[in-house]
Structure 1
Protein backbone atom coordinates (compact mmCIF):
# COMPACT_ATOMS: atom_id res chain seq x y z
CA UNK A 1 0.00 0.00 0.00
CA UNK A 2 1.09 3.53 -0.67
CA UNK A 3 0.34 6.00 2.08
CA UNK A 4 2.13 8.26 4.51
CA UNK A 5 2.53 7.42 8.16
CA UNK A 6 1.23 10.19 10.42
CA UNK A 7 4.12 11.61 12.42
CA UNK A 8 4.99 14.72 14.38
CA UNK A 9 8.04 16.49 13.00
CA UNK A 10 8.85 17.69 16.52
CA UNK A 11 9.70 14.09 17.45
CA UNK A 12 13.33 13.01 17.28
CA UNK A 13 14.44 10.75 14.44
CA UNK A 14 14.53 7.81 16.87
CA UNK A 15 10.98 8.55 18.04
CA UNK A 16 9.73 8.79 14.44
CA UNK A 17 11.33 5.44 13.63
CA UNK A 18 9.80 3.85 16.73
CA UNK A 19 6.31 5.19 15.96
CA UNK A 20 6.61 3.88 12.40
CA UNK A 21 7.59 0.47 13.82
CA UNK A 22 4.39 0.56 15.90
CA UNK A 23 2.34 1.37 12.80
CA UNK A 24 4.06 -1.49 10.95
CA UNK A 25 3.12 -3.78 13.86
CA UNK A 26 -0.52 -2.77 13.44
CA UNK A 27 -0.29 -3.55 9.71
CA UNK A 28 1.28 -6.93 10.50
CA UNK A 29 -1.53 -7.71 12.96
CA UNK A 30 -4.12 -7.16 10.23
CA UNK A 31 -2.21 -8.85 7.44
CA UNK A 32 -0.93 -12.01 9.13
CA UNK A 33 -1.10 -11.65 12.90
CA UNK A 34 1.53 -10.62 15.43
CA UNK A 35 2.74 -12.08 18.70
CA UNK A 36 1.12 -10.35 21.65
CA UNK A 37 4.51 -9.63 23.22
CA UNK A 38 5.82 -8.04 20.03
CA UNK A 39 2.92 -5.61 19.61
CA UNK A 40 2.93 -4.93 23.36
CA UNK A 41 6.59 -3.86 23.23
CA UNK A 42 5.89 -1.64 20.21
CA UNK A 43 2.87 -0.11 21.96
CA UNK A 44 4.80 0.55 25.17
CA UNK A 45 7.41 2.49 23.19
CA UNK A 46 4.63 4.34 21.33
CA UNK A 47 3.16 5.34 24.72
CA UNK A 48 6.52 6.72 25.85
CA UNK A 49 6.41 9.03 22.84
CA UNK A 50 2.64 9.69 22.92
CA UNK A 51 1.69 9.44 26.62
CA UNK A 52 -1.69 11.20 26.52
CA UNK A 53 -4.92 9.37 25.69
CA UNK A 54 -6.30 12.24 23.60
CA UNK A 55 -3.08 12.47 21.61
CA UNK A 56 -3.08 8.68 21.16
CA UNK A 57 -6.63 8.86 19.76
CA UNK A 58 -5.53 11.62 17.35
CA UNK A 59 -2.65 9.52 15.96
CA UNK A 60 -4.79 6.36 15.82
CA UNK A 61 -7.46 8.25 13.87
CA UNK A 62 -4.93 9.71 11.44
CA UNK A 63 -3.32 6.31 10.89
CA UNK A 64 -6.72 4.69 10.28
CA UNK A 65 -7.71 7.43 7.80
CA UNK A 66 -4.40 7.07 5.97
CA UNK A 67 -4.07 3.27 5.96
CA UNK A 68 -7.50 1.81 6.65
CA UNK A 69 -6.05 -0.09 9.64
CA UNK A 70 -7.57 0.78 13.01
CA UNK A 71 -5.02 0.46 15.84
CA UNK A 72 -7.66 0.54 18.60
CA UNK A 73 -9.00 -3.05 18.21
CA UNK A 74 -5.47 -4.41 18.07
CA UNK A 75 -4.46 -2.61 21.27
CA UNK A 76 -7.72 -3.65 22.97
CA UNK A 77 -7.24 -7.30 21.99
CA UNK A 78 -3.57 -7.19 22.99
CA UNK A 79 -4.54 -6.08 26.49
CA UNK A 80 -7.20 -8.81 26.83
CA UNK A 81 -5.26 -11.77 25.47
CA UNK A 82 -2.91 -14.02 27.38
CA UNK A 83 0.85 -14.14 26.93
CA UNK A 84 2.07 -16.26 24.05
CA UNK A 85 -0.97 -15.67 21.85
CA UNK A 86 -1.24 -14.00 18.47
CA UNK A 87 -3.17 -10.80 17.90
CA UNK A 88 -4.96 -10.71 14.56
CA UNK A 89 -7.10 -7.93 13.20
CA UNK A 90 -9.89 -8.16 10.69
CA UNK A 91 -11.01 -5.40 8.38
Structure 2
Protein backbone atom coordinates (compact mmCIF):
# COMPACT_ATOMS: atom_id res chain seq x y z
CA UNK A 1 0.00 0.00 0.00
CA UNK A 2 1.04 3.58 -0.51
CA UNK A 3 1.02 5.93 2.45
CA UNK A 4 1.80 9.56 2.91
CA UNK A 5 4.61 9.74 5.44
CA UNK A 6 4.80 12.86 7.64
CA UNK A 7 7.86 14.68 6.27
CA UNK A 8 9.21 18.09 7.25
CA UNK A 9 10.28 20.05 4.18
CA UNK A 10 13.09 21.68 6.15
CA UNK A 11 14.88 18.34 6.54
CA UNK A 12 17.86 17.65 4.30
CA UNK A 13 17.70 14.77 1.84
CA UNK A 14 19.80 12.62 4.21
CA UNK A 15 17.52 13.42 7.15
CA UNK A 16 14.42 12.63 5.11
CA UNK A 17 15.93 9.29 4.11
CA UNK A 18 16.60 8.40 7.77
CA UNK A 19 13.02 9.21 8.76
CA UNK A 20 11.46 7.38 5.81
CA UNK A 21 13.65 4.31 6.42
CA UNK A 22 12.53 4.22 10.05
CA UNK A 23 8.86 4.65 9.18
CA UNK A 24 9.13 1.95 6.50
CA UNK A 25 10.67 -0.37 9.10
CA UNK A 26 7.78 0.33 11.50
CA UNK A 27 5.43 -0.57 8.67
CA UNK A 28 7.41 -3.76 7.98
CA UNK A 29 7.03 -4.87 11.64
CA UNK A 30 3.29 -5.16 11.02
CA UNK A 31 3.89 -7.50 8.07
CA UNK A 32 6.90 -9.68 8.98
CA UNK A 33 9.24 -10.29 11.91
CA UNK A 34 12.08 -7.78 12.21
CA UNK A 35 15.07 -7.98 14.57
CA UNK A 36 14.54 -5.63 17.50
CA UNK A 37 18.13 -4.37 17.22
CA UNK A 38 17.46 -3.27 13.63
CA UNK A 39 14.45 -1.27 14.81
CA UNK A 40 16.36 0.30 17.70
CA UNK A 41 19.27 1.23 15.43
CA UNK A 42 16.94 2.84 12.92
CA UNK A 43 15.12 4.60 15.78
CA UNK A 44 18.45 6.12 16.91
CA UNK A 45 18.94 7.50 13.38
CA UNK A 46 15.38 8.84 13.45
CA UNK A 47 16.03 10.55 16.81
CA UNK A 48 19.06 12.35 15.33
CA UNK A 49 16.64 14.03 12.94
CA UNK A 50 13.71 14.34 15.37
CA UNK A 51 15.25 14.85 18.83
CA UNK A 52 12.17 16.57 20.30
CA UNK A 53 9.73 14.22 22.03
CA UNK A 54 6.80 16.49 21.12
CA UNK A 55 7.77 16.45 17.45
CA UNK A 56 8.18 12.66 17.61
CA UNK A 57 4.68 12.35 19.09
CA UNK A 58 3.24 14.59 16.36
CA UNK A 59 4.92 12.53 13.65
CA UNK A 60 3.75 9.34 15.38
CA UNK A 61 0.13 10.53 15.52
CA UNK A 62 0.17 11.61 11.88
CA UNK A 63 1.83 8.37 10.80
CA UNK A 64 -0.62 6.22 12.76
CA UNK A 65 -3.61 8.16 11.43
CA UNK A 66 -2.38 7.63 7.87
CA UNK A 67 -1.23 4.01 8.15
CA UNK A 68 -2.62 2.47 11.32
CA UNK A 69 0.97 1.62 12.41
CA UNK A 70 2.29 2.81 15.77
CA UNK A 71 5.83 4.10 16.26
CA UNK A 72 5.34 4.01 20.03
CA UNK A 73 4.18 0.36 20.19
CA UNK A 74 6.92 -0.75 17.79
CA UNK A 75 9.76 0.92 19.70
CA UNK A 76 8.34 -0.18 23.07
CA UNK A 77 8.17 -3.81 21.94
CA UNK A 78 11.69 -3.62 20.48
CA UNK A 79 13.06 -2.23 23.76
CA UNK A 80 11.35 -5.01 25.73
CA UNK A 81 12.67 -7.73 23.39
CA UNK A 82 16.12 -6.50 22.40
CA UNK A 83 17.50 -9.92 21.44
CA UNK A 84 14.48 -11.16 19.50
CA UNK A 85 12.60 -10.60 16.28
CA UNK A 86 9.34 -8.77 16.74
CA UNK A 87 6.10 -8.58 14.80
CA UNK A 88 2.89 -6.73 15.55
Report TM bin, short chain: over 0.9
* Matched residue count: 88
For 1:82 and 1:42, locate their aligned partners in 2 and report how far apart those are by CA, in whole Å: 13
| Alignment partner, residue 39 of structure 1 | 39
Supply the RMSD in Å over aligned alpha carbons. Answer: 0.9
**What is the correspondence of 1:3-14 to structure 2 with a 5 Å cutoff?**
3-14=3-14
Which 4+ residue blocks in structure 1 deviate beyond 4 angstroms?
none
Structure 1, unaligned runs of 5 or more = none
Q: TM-score, normalised by structure 2?
A: 0.94
Structure 2, unaligned runs of 5 or more = none
| Alignment partner, residue 25 of structure 1 | 25
Structure 1 residue 52: deviation in Å? 1.2
Q: TM-score, normalised by structure 1?
A: 0.91
